[in-house]
Amino acid sequence: MRQAMMLLLVSLSLPISANAQDPRAFHAKELADYYKGSLRLGPNLARARTIYDQLRNDSGMEFRVIPCQTFSAGQAHDGGIILIDISLLQKPTPIVAFFLSHEWGHEALGHSPNIYRPNANAWRIRYSATQDEDEADEYAANFMAQHHYALDPVIAYLRRIPYSRGDFTHSWGPARAQHVQSVYQNALAQDPTGNQEPGSDKPVDCDEAFADCRREAGRELNELARTHLEEIKSLGCPCNNLVGLAFFNCREECNTRMAEMEIERDTFWQSKLDECKADRRRCQNK
């Protein structure tokens, strides 16, 4: 509340520029959406639930989403926890879909450790400071193309995000918007169903069968993840009771097994997804 009041005082004490990139105008709008969204939290959460279900079914993963207000649209945390701003939930559905899938992408891609990727990508080489955020944007753009969400509201919003000198992990708004648009268009061009609007003449049974196949693969992946979790618990990895070289050998053994589990889940999911895609191509070629 103190942060919200400070933003309000700053926005009221200074003239708001007509420039959409002006930080004062941007944050004043976010604050207004926060108060409006607080009054409409129930309906907004019901609308976001549809997006949540799509993400869960597509990824075969399930993460906890908590509405709050960080004034950063959303955040992905260790343990599979996603924070989503109440002000964001007040915005048009495509913007909600983009940022929720962006944070979901952080979890699904292993940028933060969770039940599916316990070690996350801590040892992965990053070639730029913005790599994780760019990858999450790509995940979101592909998700939006797959589900036919309109991209124009998202592009307009990204271009309005003010430049922050202290933010080295996100690309600048216009550059980010251009990248998202490029990935979105490529996804539509590569997906045989991407250019088909809902209600078109294309038979829907192939798409429904594909969605059912992915949902079933997701359930099987969840079962595999639970099996791995039980195995981790049974191993115990009692390394804290050891000292010296024995401690490091124990940690290496446990980390090696968890890495093997992650590879096993990735291989399983990719294999199932390839099967689903092959079934869809056969269905569409009939």
Look at residue 88 in the predicted model and tell me its pLDDT.
95
If asked whether residues 38 and 157 sit together in one domain, one would say: yes
- Within-domain flag for 139: yes
Look at residue 14 in the predicted model and tell me its pLDDT.
37
Say if residues 111 and 58 touch (Cβ distance below 8 Å).
no
The total number of structural domains in the chain stands at 2
Q: Which residue range forms the structural domain that includes residue 105?
A: 2-120+129-190
Say if residues 93 and 242 touch (Cβ distance below 8 Å).
no
If asked whether residues 85 and 115 sit together in one domain, one would say: yes
If asked whether residues 167 and 226 sit together in one domain, one would say: no
Look at residue 166 in the predicted model and tell me its pLDDT.
64
Alpha carbons 62 and 107: distance in angstroms, whole number: 10
If asked whether residues 14 and 138 sit together in one domain, one would say: yes
- Within-domain flag for 232: yes
- Amino acid residing at 71: F
- Within-domain flag for 226: yes
pLDDT digits (tens, 9 = 90+) for 105-159: 999 998 888 988 887 766 666 777 888 999 999 999 999 999 989 999 999 999 8
- Within-domain flag for 267: yes
If asked whether residues 153 and 233 sit together in one domain, one would say: no
Look at residue 192 in the predicted model and tell me its pLDDT.
52
Look at residue 165 in the predicted model and tell me its pLDDT.
67
pTM above 0.75, yes or no: no
Look at residue 50 in the predicted model and tell me its pLDDT.
93
Separation of CA 202 from chain center: 29
If asked whether residues 145 and 40 sit together in one domain, one would say: yes
- Amino acid residing at 124: R
Look at residue 187 in the predicted model and tell me its pLDDT.
86
> Residue 129 is encoded by which pair of tokens?
């400071």
Look at residue 211 in the predicted model and tell me its pLDDT.
76
- Within-domain flag for 196: no
End-of-domain residue from the set 150, 165, 190: 190
If asked whether residues 172 and 268 sit together in one domain, one would say: no
Look at residue 121 in the predicted model and tell me its pLDDT.
67
Is 2 strand, coil or helix? helix
Give pLDDT < 70 ranges for the chain.
Answer: 1-21, 121-125, 165-167, 191-205, 232-243, 247-248, 251, 286
- Within-domain flag for 199: no
